[in-house]
A and B are shown apart, each in its own frame.
Chain A
Amino acid sequence: MKDFNIVLTGVGGQGILTLQKIISEAAMKQGYDVKASELHGLAQRGGHIECHVRIGKKIHSSLVRQGNADLIIALEPLEGLRATYYASKQKTIFLLNTYEIIPLSVYIGEGKYPSMDKILDNIKDFSKKIFSINASEIVKRTTGSIISTNIYMLGYAVAENIIPIKKEFVLDGMKKVIKKKYFEMNKKVFELRENQIKRKNLYFKK
């Protein structure tokens, strides 16, 4: 496989770092070389947070080049839009959670939060394909809280086969990174999309 470049983005507190750790551990388990970049510090306080994960045979830089992302997982639409810096029409697949978190700059009148249609329209210019889903809503319906949205998104990517990592390795990674107490709940969330696809296929077979 040629290098596979992933950008994970969202707002501090959405679990971007956890997602990065799980993907990195899983990729290593599957036999890939991995480099991931993290940002710590101010970004944790409601700021935008972005991690890059690059996997492949031999990886050097931990940063994804401008326009060179294969997959962008955005836990927040505005941050998805910001990640178009790493995206291009030729190759990038977007997995976008439509749950909006309005930045303070919008409240104080510094800028406007674009409509969802506008965001998707803009992203279209920078992508090959977009999966836009209201992941937080789905997760809240299942677990009563939006906390595991990050895990749902990862499960979605694996179920849709848009990330070159196998489920068994992701689960290994989750076991390592997520506290034991929360693992089963997260596994359930992780499998939501997969089960949905299975049900759909069953329906169409009939």
Chain B
Amino acid sequence: MRNEILKKKGKILLLGNEAIVRGALESGVGLASTYPGTPSSEIGDTFSEIAKKAGIYFEYSANEKVALEVAAGAAFSGIKSIVSMKHFGLNVAADSLMPVAYVGGSPLVVVSADDPSCWSSAQSEQDNRYYARLAHIPCVEPSNPEEAKELTKFAFKISEKYEIPVLLRTTTRVSHTRGIVKLDKLPKRKTKGKFIKDMKKFNNLPPHTMEMHEKILEKIEKIRKLSEKTKFNFILNKNVRSKIGIIVSGVSYNYVIDSLDQLNLKLPVLKIGLTYPLPTEKIKRFIRNKKEVLIVEELEPLMEKEVTRIAKEINPKLKVHGKDILPKSGEFNIETVMKAIMKISKKKFDFNFDAHKKNFEKLKIPRRIPVFCPGCPHRATFLAVKKAAPPGTIFGGDIGCYILGIFPPFETQDFNLSMGANVSVIHGINKVSNQKTIAFLGDSTFFHAGMPAIANLVFNKSNTLVIILDNRYTSMTGHQENPGTGYTGMGDKTTPIRIEDVVKAMGVKNVKVVDPFNIKLMIKTIKKFLKKNELSVIVAKRECQLMAVRRMRYFGVEPDKYEIDQKKCKQCKSCLNNIGCPAINEIDGRIFIDKNLCTGCGVCASICPNGAIKKVKKK
């Protein structure tokens, strides 16, 4: 379906993220790079699908910092480039974002997909609009797919004209909203460039660094003039005379419109698409004759602070509302915004949100904890860990699919911070305590941030055990390729880096590759390595079962199925209670395997004490 994105014209349904890709294509992008992360992943995945057809270069990079640098290199060579990542990704890339901004790396668009409400984010709910202010680069914030496309094009224009990278900041509800987008012309793309030497321009070195700092501040003031007149900063209901006004950016714009509509209310709304630098004069004119203004922005009160400052100058009596009546964390929706507007406009509504919510909460619905998929090799690894590790072992967890080890029945994750972090935290614990420790990380995480951490273990003589769950993909975010998989983001074969070779080359002496489905060998190896007073690494290597099964079915093969011999089963429930497999269910006191769900890993059979679980014979 994604090929549709290359259509010449017409109107098609696009996800916000896909619309960003189309916007880049309509701008003549030549290179795209990314490291995956929800809610940004479909940007990279779409590029991956269409790059060859569109004649552009795309790559999944090893991490976000690398991805940003790759895009900067192309931009330095005069090629329009775009790099996308989730919000924490920009933490990783930030080290290079600052100097790339100073040297005026352009044409370059940096996409940060933030995740208010942490729908798919473990680490933080941070507001990346701060990065625009930190790096002094402009920031645009779309509110729907159509605008996502238009603002991507606008971002490229700003970047090219002012020689500055531009931050395109979306949020989950923009990235993952599908809407109708009108397609414009696809220009001829320039994909071959040339790096023209310019020592002064591209080198960061004091005192020149300070000159660059001054220069970028000047650029931002120039762009502020653009912010005053761009059509993306506009006033809705301009002619409505009211003492109350609303200033809004991003997805919240939709909630404002819907709220006003449902409340049958007309108020002037200043909608801001280029949110840094803010259009100071426009804001002045908007608030000059108002008594109250409501700033509707998710997470941090960034616009609110600036409007408060501007109001001091022009209209000191103005009441600036924002985080006094709107939540500081969590995403907004129509009801949050509606309630805020009702509060300041004194308008009533015939639906009682709070009573409804109370009635709903009375239902006490059991939650659905996400579980490992049937046949997931991570489940098998954790099962072995539970059986092999002595009580009190400290488990350092990480952010891939194996994060689910946090839940019962495993609870093999005592903490998690950011990608790769646990290895070094475990090392710190190891240096000051006598506790047994195991650090977990996945293959993609190993290449992303794990390698320096493991080098440090060798360097500083750690004696922990590290288990690398190598399922051959970046699975959590949608099975993207990584340096270990043997394929590039364009689908070409490349050298797969073997994790076991890397750790051996780094100097780890105890290294063993084990198939997680071989529970007995896994248990034996973990026990053996835990006894050593030396750093050891187990590579638990087996392909993600979702992908293995998908491939089998593609070739018309059904995976093996297991069943329980009800005569032999003594209802000890060790399979039910220790594995947490969605295919194993209890019905009226008896245990059954759901053949629709079983993918034939056989892990349950290998731990059944009564030998009651058998492979179903194929007819």
Contacts and interface: CB of A to CB of B under 8 A. Distances in A.
Contact of A40 (B39, B338, B369): B39
B476 to A, nearest CB: 8
B175 to A, nearest CB: 9
B548 interface: no
Contact of B178 (A36, A102, A125): A36
A107 B586 contact: yes
Contact of A63 (B119, B333, B364): B333
Contact of A42 (B257, B262, B353, B370): B370
B200 interface: no
B573 to A, nearest CB: 10
B576 A107 contact: yes
A81 B365 contact: yes
B206 interface: no
B176 interface: yes
A66 B357 contact: yes
Interface stretch (A45-53, A163-171, A194-202): A45-53
A48 B353 CA distance: 23
A40 B360 contact: no
Given A35-B177, A46-B582, A106 B254 contact: no
Interface stretch (B94-102, B134-142, B401-409, B563-571): B401-409
Given A81-B363, A107-B576, A38 B351 contact: no
A108 interface: yes
Interface string A1-41: 00000000001100000001100110010000111111111
Contact of B366 (A65, A106, A125): A106
Interface in A39-79: 39-43, 45-48, 59-63, 65-68, 78-79
A47 B364 contact: no
Q: Which of B178, B353, B596: most chain A CB closer than 10 A? A: B178
A61 B179 contact: no
A78 B369 CA distance: 13
Nearest to B337: A61
Q: Which of A62, A88, A177: most chain B CB closer than 10 A? A: A62
Contacts of A21: 1, 13, 178
B543 interface: no
A31 B259 CA distance: 24
Contacts of B335: 65-66
B246 to A, nearest CB: 14
Interface string A150-186: 0000000000000000000000000011000000000
A187 interface: no
B533 interface: no
Contacts of A24: 13, 178
Contacts, number: 165
A16 B356 CA distance: 26
Contacts of A107: 576, 580, 586
A40 B41 contact: yes
Contact of B371 (A20, A40, A88, A104): A104
Contacts of B371: 45-46, 104
Contacts of B360: 84-85, 126
A40 B38 contact: yes
B15 A38 contact: yes
A110 interface: yes
Interface string B595-618: 010000000000000000000000
B368 A38 contact: no
Interface in B545-601: 576, 580, 582, 585-586, 596
Contact of A105 (B1, B367, B476): B367
Contacts of B372: 45
Interface in B333-382: 333-335, 338, 351, 353, 356-357, 359-360, 363-373
Contacts of A126: 359-360
B416 to A, nearest CB: 14
A65 B60 CA distance: 37
Interface in B215-260: 251, 253-255, 257-258
A138 to B, nearest CB: 16
Contact of A110 (B338, B366, B582): B366
Contacts of B353: 66-67
Given A24-B178, A66-B334, A67-B351, 8 more contacts: A35-B144, A46-B369, A60-B144, A65-B333, A68-B351, A78-B365, A110-B366, A145-B596
25 contacts: A25-B13, A33-B180, A35-B144, A36-B177, A36-B178, A37-B173, A37-B178, A40-B41, A40-B42, A40-B120, A40-B478, A46-B369, A46-B370, A61-B333, A61-B334, A65-B262, A66-B356, A67-B353, A68-B351, A81-B365, A82-B365, A84-B360, A85-B356, A85-B360, A146-B596
